[in-house]
A and B are shown apart, each in its own frame.
Chain A
Amino acid sequence: MRQQTTTRSDPLEDLIARHWPARLEPGALEARLRLIPQQFPQQPASPRWLVSAVAHSPWPWLAGGGLAAASALAGFAVGVLGLLAPAATLDWAALAYGAL
């Protein structure tokens, strides 16, 4: 255990430094630590630009909203077509709407 030799103005601070040395030699632990690269696979770095883009940009949310709006519009259009079209077309329109 290495002792800190700095003398402080406050005896209490000196006492703390004496009882809690700044460094403790790891001894056998150091060998265990050096084995970590062999024992644990390194995890791939997450693509920060992508995470950041999703977290801080409005575009992903706008794109999602746009997709939902387009889908609703398509459903409405097929419904209107179904009302206005002749009977033969109506069957196809109903089928298409059902597929959606």
Chain B
Amino acid sequence: MAGEGGDAQLLQALACGDAAAFSLLVQRHAPRVLAFARAVLGNPTEAEDVTQDVFIKLWQRPQTYDPRRGAFTTWLFQVTRNAALNHRERVRGREMPWDEDAAEPVDESPGPEESCGLIEDEARFTAAVGALPEAQRSALALVYSQGLSGREAAAALGVSAKALESLLVRAKRSLRAALAAPAPERDPDRLARGDRR
């Protein structure tokens, strides 16, 4: 993320109740917090709620972040993951644990046949990662999507570097197996309706 140094100054200003500093932090970090929350939860609406929870916490208690314990971004991902788990805990029982149909297609403009393939590809990927345990999903997202180093990702997940490596190996093995399996037959009625819920 851009400028940990700049973040430190903004956080100091934030601790003094500077709303402009807060706006800048939102501008800098909200896109990555949202993307990570989306990867963990698989649901765009829930990811937005979690992002809001994270920034409310940052505004209300900026002193919770201790620079001696690591980079601000690592802390932010840690808070995001905890908020996502708490959110999931709150909604458990009244919603599906993983909203497979909430996946958006990749933002390109292919022809109809290609588009159908992309949607199917997206749905298969979403189903495969949705079947992974949350810790494995978070590890994949932090390392391969957010580009964190092993040490940073391990700190964000609260595990050792070795445990992170193990999470990644198991996650990739499960994903490979799921994606290599033959695609399930499409529901012709649903395709005819163009219904993606």
Chain A interface residues (CB < 8 Å from chain B): 1, 3-4, 8, 10, 12-13, 15-26, 29-30, 32-34, 36-38, 40-43, 45-46, 48
Q: Which residues of A contact B151 (CB under 8 A)?
A: none
* Closest beta carbon of chain B to A29's beta carbon, Å: 5
Which of the four size classes fits the interface of chain B? 35 or more
Are A20 and B39 in contact (CB-based, < 8 A)? yes
Q: CB within 8 A of A19: which of B23, B61, B122?
A: B122
Q: Which residues of A contact B176 (CB under 8 A)?
A: 12
Q: Is B107 an interface residue (CB 8 A)?
A: yes
Name the residue in A16, A24, A36 with the highest tally of chain B Cβ atoms < 10 Å from its Cβ: A24
Q: What does the 1/0 interface line of B1-34 toward A look like (CB < 8 Å)? A: 0000000000000010101001100110011101
Are A4 and B52 in contact (CB-based, < 8 A)? no
Q: CB within 8 A of A36: which of B47, B59, B106, B125?
A: B59
Are B125 and A19 in contact (CB-based, < 8 A)? yes
Are B144 and A42 in contact (CB-based, < 8 A)? no
Are A29 and B51 in contact (CB-based, < 8 A)? yes
